[in-house]
Amino acid sequence: MKLIVEPATRPLTGTVIIPGDKSIGHRALLFSLLSVTPVRVLGLGDGADNGRSAKAITALGATIERDGNALVITGTGLLGM
């Protein structure tokens, strides 16, 4: 097998729809911290684990706003942490 890695020519954009679950929600919150572009997370459970993850990413500089049943998270970017 041969792997070729080429530099990106444009940003990665798009929408990914996956079945919800606590672990996926937790990861969505953490990965959103890496983006300086607002990330919409829909259908996130209200469990304590997700609440603690949200609190942690705000402590690291992210902002979180509620928009209906979505959270809009603006992270710090990889270099902002």
What whole-number distance in Å separates Cα of residue 50 and Cα of residue 44? 8
Query: pLDDT tens digits, residue range 54-68?
Result: 999 999 999 999 999
The 3-state DSSP class for residue 66 equals strand
Query: pLDDT tens digits, residue range 31-51?
Result: 999 999 999 998 888 888 889
The 3-state DSSP class for residue 22 equals helix
